[in-house]
Amino acid sequence: MKIKRKIGPKLGDQNSEIIKNDFKPKLFQDQISFDRMRKYRLNRVRNQLIKNDIGACILFDPINIRYATDTRNMAIFSFHLMTRYVFIAANGPVILFEYPKCEHIYENNCTIDEVREVTTWDHFSWGNKVYEKALEWSKIIDDLMKQYSSQNNNIAIDVCDPAGINAIKNNYNYKIINAQKFLEIARSIKSADEIICMRASVKTAEKGIMLMHENLKAGITEEELWSILHKTNIENGGEWFETRLLNSGPKTNPWFQECSNRIIQEGEIVAFDTDMVGPYGYCADISRTFVEGGKLTNYQKKIHSLAYENVKYNEELIKPGLSFKEFAEKAWQLPDNCFDNHYPCQVHGVGMSDEWPFIAYPNKDYSNGDYDAVFEENMVICVESYIGEKDEKEGAKLEDQYLVTNNGLELLSSIPLNLV
């Protein structure tokens, strides 16, 4: 039987209707109020603008655009070419500037008041006309500010190249403020609908992880094993991966060696970090360390047990109201011979990607990070551990994802940390 599936209305066909039965439902889809979630996220952004006396923000980062508007279009492409952005007035409209001929995508989105064709100034599109087009763009922004923020000249921008920034600063009297802080704070507290989205992403990742565990046999390459998770993510409505962190044997120590065509050998450690942007654009960030054949050497048992102890100890500390500094003071202590290769952080936030906060291993005066804030209810965080002894050939990486509740942490992932 041939299955009919539409991917959207045809360009220019104003009468096209998408039949609900044409689509396979995504995980937990019927439990999520998408309009409620969209309005919650946009309000979080606007509240930050108002709180910090900002007239409007301009967002280029595709993840920030997705958070504020729930729009997605060629995200990786627009990470390196500024082909789409959104103007959000603190007390006015949301205007999305979209890639040419894509205006039809957002007809039913409750966060978008207007869609315009984008004005860009990247060299890819304009060559030697970059600054000329940047001036044209700055005039558009000036017109919007005069119309929707005439009494407030503060503009927050997340990422923008020098040509655009200079065009505004050299020709208009606006104060440009970094929007990233405000977006990170907005994104840090999840709504009930967002938490369901994250559960769907974690469940999807775990389906892929178990398939990887089943297929881990000597002779398979790292990339062949890693591709199983990619396939599982895409076929379940997921999106992309932030990293390529799966490695084996001597590539596991030190950490941060990318997945390759290396052939996995008998009895070797295989460690990975999903960093998977799954269904609905939310991240599943889980690390596990397996051993080919499931029989650990004494050294493998040692480092795996230490990583397990590290995660379990630190998860018990975290509760709403605990300051990041107090956590860092009480956190599990790395063995001296593991410190040189330690992971950059002990805990970090997660949502549509890795997010604030980032809690490092502190130096003596706590000058290597911002430890002043506190854990809050409905943050989603990851507790990290990497154990790789200096001058040894293998390391173990473990990480779990949690919801901060009023009673402590709720584990979102279900695959045991000690599964090998």
**What is the mean predicted confidence (pLDDT) over 23-40?**
94
CATH topology assigned to domain 25-187? Creatine Amidinohydrolase; Chain A, domain 1 (3.40.350)
In terms of phi and psi (left: phi > 0; alpha: psi -120 to 50; beta: otherwise), the region of 293 is left
| pLDDT tens digit sequence for 192-235 | 999 999 999 999 999 999 999 999 999 999 999 999 999 999 99
Residue with tokens 């654009």: 281
Strand stretches in 118-242, DSSP E: 154-157, 175-178, 240-241
Torsion of CA 315, 319, 323, 329, to 10 degrees: -40
Token representation of residue 22? 């044409």
Q: Which residues pair with 187 in a beta bridge?
A: none
- In degrees, rounded to 5, the angle at the alpha carbon of residue 31 between the alpha carbons of residues 86 and 184 is 35
Closest CA to 277 of 244, 246, 241, 245: 241
Position 40 pLDDT exceeds 90? yes
Token representation of residue 327? 């956590």
Position 107 pLDDT exceeds 90? no
Q: How are the residues of the chain apportioned to helix, strand and coil, as percentages rounded to the nearest 5?
A: 40, 20, 40
The DSSP 8-state label assigned to residue 94 in this structure reads: E
Position 16 pLDDT exceeds 60? no
| pLDDT tens digit sequence for 352-387 | 999 999 999 998 889 988 899 999 999 999 999 999
* The domains spanning 25-187 and 189-411 adopt the same CATH topology: no
CATH topology assigned to domain 189-411? Creatine Amidinohydrolase (3.90.230)
Whole-angstrom distance, CA of residue 266 vs CA of residue 285: 27
**What is the mean predicted confidence (pLDDT) over 96-123?**
90
Q: What is the pLDDT of residue 21?
A: 62
Burial grade of 407 (CB within 10 A; 0-12, 13-18, 19 or more): exposed
| pLDDT tens digit sequence for 134-174 | 999 999 999 999 999 999 999 999 999 999 999 999 999 99
Q: How many residues does the chain have?
A: 420
| pLDDT tens digit sequence for 273-325 | 999 999 999 999 999 999 999 999 999 999 999 999 999 999 999 999 999 99
Q: What is the pLDDT of residue 20?
A: 52
Mean pLDDT lowest among 100-104, 117-121, 267-271, 404-408: 100-104
Q: What is the pLDDT of residue 4?
A: 32
Average pLDDT, the chain: 93
Share of the chain above pLDDT 70, in %: 95
Whole-angstrom distance, CA of residue 179 vs CA of residue 184: 9
Token representation of residue 345? 């952080």
Domain positions in the chain are: 25-187, 189-411
The answer to whether residues 93 and 144 touch, using CB atoms and an 8 Å cutoff, is: no
Position 2 pLDDT exceeds 60? no
Report if pTM > 0.85: yes
Q: What is the pLDDT of residue 105?
A: 84
Q: Which residues pair with 345 in a beta bridge?
A: 360
